[in-house]
Amino acid sequence: MHILVIGGAGYIGSHMVKFLGRQGCRVTTLDNLAGGHRDAVLHGDFVQGDIADRAGLDALFRGQHFDAVMHFASFIQVGESVTAPARYYQNNLVNTLNLLDAMRDANIDKFIFSSTAAIFGEPRSDRIDEAHPRQPINPYGRTKLMVEQVLADYDAAYGLKSVCLRYFNAAGADPEGELGERHEPETHLIPLVLRAASGRRPHITVFGRDYDTPDGTCIRDYVHINDLCSAHWLALQSLLSGGGSQAFNLGNGSGFSVQQVIDTARRVTGREIPVQYADRRAGDPARLVADATRAVAQLGWAPRYAALDTLIEHAWRWEQKVLLRG
């Protein structure tokens, strides 16, 4: 089995490449290295290229056969999507259309898409399942929802089968310590907290402590990166066995507050973590927690690393490795 991983040098993509390699798959990574790292691709072949380049895609598909494509190469910063929407519509939507059309011409009809909980917008329930209204409130979420809609139309018209996996908050790092988050700028809470613990940043800022939650800080659903990889693997098996197009929400189903993350990080690291408090950010809901019942029932998915301590232990191991590298 030969899998093409778009964006396989990035955070989630690189973990997926390693996971596929451990399963005995042949893997090719296509990445333009705009945000990824060549040394994070630990298995298979690497091609530096861009899905905006149709001629490059055609040449890649002519040269070898792929059983399926996994797509992780999206821009993901919500705030930037508001100030620079053209960049997001071009990369996340237009370039993905380019990839899908190249796949059609190459007769590749299986596609796994990295989607997001941002397609739902403001939550209307404590736990969000697949039936929740899809009303994104920023360009990032809209571009992901548009791709999901394109995939439904491409299935109906061309028979291209897809699985859309909607992450809530990807977190943690490779349990073996080989991979982790390397975003610059970093925007995710857990690595920012751990940078404050290690001294790479002076403090962590908590935006709002007057929410309607037990400790007043926002609650989010954190899902371990390796558990996301296992969901992708199960989705791939579903497609390869003749399953139809589907969409799944991925999360642990139990959220943790910002304060819980900080307190757990203090306990795991044994370090003091300076905190500053600021006003709420516009558009931040009090809680965002997944209902992943469908993924559990239909894919047989079972998160292995659900404990917050484990997420932070793995991420802290990676942060320490980054410090040693200098």
Return the active site residues.
Answer: 140
Residue in the block written with tokens 């404990």:
307
User: Is the distance from CB of 117 to CB of 144 less than 8 angstroms?
Assistant: no
Q: What 3-state DSSP class applies to 208? A: coil
Taking alpha carbons only, the member of 290, 149, 147, 172 closest to residue 229 is 172
* Phi, psi angles (nearest 5°) of residue 69: -125, 135
Token pair of 90, please? 């071009």
User: Partners of 165 in the beta sheet?
Assistant: 114, 248
Taking alpha carbons only, the member of 105, 57, 248, 43 closest to residue 163 is 248
Instruction: Quickly count: other Cβ atoms within 10 Å of residue 324's Cβ.
Output: 6
User: Is the distance from CB of 262 to CB of 249 less than 8 angstroms?
Assistant: no
Q: Return left, alpha or beta for 172; rule: phi > 0 is left, psi -120 to 50 is alpha, else beta.
A: left
User: Is the distance from CB of 8 to CB of 30 less than 8 angstroms?
Assistant: yes
Cα first-last separation, the chain:
38
How far is Cα of residue 31 from the mean position of the Cα atoms in its chain?
16
Taking alpha carbons only, the member of 59, 54, 64 closest to residue 28 is 64
Computed over its alpha carbons, how large is the radius of gyration of the chain? 19
